[in-house]
Amino acid sequence: MRGFHFSNFQADDKPKGGFDEMLKLFTQLLNYTAGDAGETLAWMNELDKQYKFTTGDYGMGDFIDDLKDKGFIKENSKDGSMDITSKTEQVIRKSALEEIFGKLKKAGKGNHNSNISGIGEEKNADRREYTFGDSLDQIDMTASIQNAQINHGIGNFTLTENDLEVEEKDYKTLTSTVLMIDISHSMILYGEDRITPAKKVAMAMAELIHTRYPKDTLDIVVFGNDAWPITVKDLPYLQVGPYHTNTLAGLELAADLLRRRKTHNKQIFMITDGKPTCLKENGRYYKNSMGLDRKVINKTLNMAAQCKRLNIPITTFMIAQDPYLQQFVREFTEINGGRAFYSSLTGLGEYIFEDYIKNRRKTVR
């Protein structure tokens, strides 16, 4: 019988269970436990009591055995605890990339395209007449032959220079990015976990660049009382410390890392939820968490201006809604000539990825 047969919807009451489903939960929880496999498995045991995602055929013991056999966890020879492996770290990065980047409606192909046309590498929709100096690979032969037939007829085929149609191409750009992550104590205050979304964004960006834009570079800088670079492998284990917010140190380190890069396009993405509250002078910390300290703020603004002179725009993702903090960000952004987003935690990844993908600036020398 042709057509469609409709019936009442029957929900699938079977428990999901199984290794693949439990692995997804395991990798998600690792983001919240800073990569602690033992604590993650303990959480899963508690969650299993409530939600019963294991079955009589496949229990937590089977899952742990499979994690070991498949190379996702290994036993620490020193104390017998469980540690995740590099294979698990890669799974976490891929999961973060799918979670964040998969939500975007569209993204450019290849490397970042610029808005400058000419003798480039990426085709675009623009067409024009041939001019002396255009390369042969720019000529659209199908369109040129069609022009010749229209202009001269098909009885005595003739192709002249005036028939040639050139396909414009865009330059591909290389981008060097420093992602700054605030790890001051406020990133876990007020009952809100802000560090985990920041870690997910960093891991997803690292995986995106590695797989889709391998010529781009990504450096990651964390800043609290001080600032220091971390590697992608460090991200799952990143935790907030009992720190103040030394934004100046983070910017200084980020600018120094970008000075060493030979690309024309350089940028800083900064994820923070608070105001600068700390400086380091002559080996001693100057701290003031009460309001906006002009000494701290002025030096931070001076660094923003210096980044502008170095052609390094700073995009600030402020994940706090306090009006006086937003006023500081506006002043900071105006001095640097960068951009600012006042983002919720749920939209943080999309904001950063869209801004990264749509970066089409190019300096041609």
* pLDDT tens by residue, 18-41: 899 999 999 999 999 999 999 999
Per-residue model confidence (pLDDT) at position 134: 75
Whole-number average pLDDT of the chain? 83
Asked if pLDDT for residue 103 goes beyond 80, the answer is no
Sign of CA dihedral 141, 144, 150, 153: negative
Tokens of 150: 């229209």
Q: DSSP states of 129-140 as a string?
A: E--TT--GGGB-
The mean-pLDDT minimum among 42-46, 138-142, 328-332, 353-357 falls in 353-357
Q: How far is the C-alpha of 43 from the C-alpha of 55, rounded, in Å? A: 17
323 close to 74: Cβ distance less than 8 angstroms: no
Per-residue model confidence (pLDDT) at position 188: 84
274 close to 329: Cβ distance less than 8 angstroms: no
Per-residue model confidence (pLDDT) at position 126: 64
269 close to 208: Cβ distance less than 8 angstroms: no
Tokens of 204: 């997803």
Q: How far is the C-alpha of 247 from the C-alpha of 297, rounded, in Å? A: 9
Per-residue model confidence (pLDDT) at position 78: 84
Q: How far is the C-alpha of 334 from the C-alpha of 330, rounded, in Å? A: 6
Tokens of 153: 């007829």
Span 243-271, mean pLDDT? 94
Residue with tokens 């990651």: 220
Q: How far is the C-alpha of 275 from the C-alpha of 292, rounded, in Å? A: 7
